[in-house]
């Protein structure tokens, strides 16, 4: 894991000390299926079942650097999958922060919760269900991040993002950084050339 982190730093994908420390502490090998443990530190996505993957480390690093999570933030993590990114976020925001990890596939939500249990986070809550409408009862969120590709960013997410908050979301093979400047005022920046599993809407 240390070698992988060093490569991500040297290539410019990891920059922020608090994010780097989380990558060093939260071992990706704890979040991949047993048959893929020997590939845990390869900079590639890995299948976790149900047609889903644990994202490529480079992509996770890039998105977290865009998101810039801070200590004490309340974060909505959409498509929590293996739980690796959820654990990274929980480590970054610390005991005063909150992370709500939503996963549509119940088996994967349970998988992610099991994987993160060994770290003993008290600030991380897993929820099984659709994230299309966000999580109104816990809004507003300082940060929102998604690990699945949307056709367009749901309006509910924009509404539930706090003013001054940041959101990183894959949209049609790009990653969009959204910064909320006012109630209906947003700054958007697009970063091209990424591939994600599709965002699944509730039937």
Annotated active-site positions, please? 55
Assign 3-state DSSP to the chain and report helix, strand, coil percentages, each to 5: 35, 30, 35
Dihedrals phi, psi of 104, to nearest 5 degrees: -70, -35
Closest among 81, 88, 33, 37 to 60, alpha carbons compared: 88
How far CA 70 is from CA of 34, 76, 135, 152, 186, in Å, comes to 32, 13, 20, 26, 20
| The 174-182 sheet, strands edge to edge | 124-128, 98-103, 74-78, 141-146, 161-171, 174-182, 185-192
| DSSP letter assigned to residue 201 | P
Dihedrals phi, psi of 156, to nearest 5 degrees: -60, -35
Tokens of 42: 């390869």
DSSP 103-139: ESSHHHHHHHHHHHHTTT-SSEEEEES--TT--GGG-
């Amino acid at each position: 894991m240390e070698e992988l982190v060093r490569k991500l730093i040297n290539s410019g994908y990891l920059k922020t000390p608090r994010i780097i420390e989380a990558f060093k502490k939260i071992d990706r090998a704890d979040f991949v299926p047993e048959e893929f443990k020997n590939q845990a530190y390869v900079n590639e996505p890995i299948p976790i079942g149900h047609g889903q993957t644990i994202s490529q480390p480079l992509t996770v690093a890039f998105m977290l650097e865009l998101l810039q999570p801070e200590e004490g933030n309340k974060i909505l993590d959409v498509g929590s999958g293996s739980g690796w990114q959820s654990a990274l976020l929980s480590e970054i925001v610390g005991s005063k922060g909150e992370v709500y990890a939503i996963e549509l596939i119940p088996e994967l939500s349970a998988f992610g919760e099991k994987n993160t249990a060994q770290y003993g986070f008290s600030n991380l809550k897993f929820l099984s269900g659709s994230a299309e409408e966000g999580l109104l009862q816990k809004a507003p969120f300082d940060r929102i991040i998604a690990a699945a590709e949307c056709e367009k960013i749901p309006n509910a997410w924009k509404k539930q993002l706090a003013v001054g908050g940041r959101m990183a979301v894959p949209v049609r093979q790009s990653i969009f950084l959204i910064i909320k400047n006012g109630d209906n005022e947003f700054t958007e920046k697009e970063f091209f050339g990424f591939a994600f599993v599709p965002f699944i809407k509730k039937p």
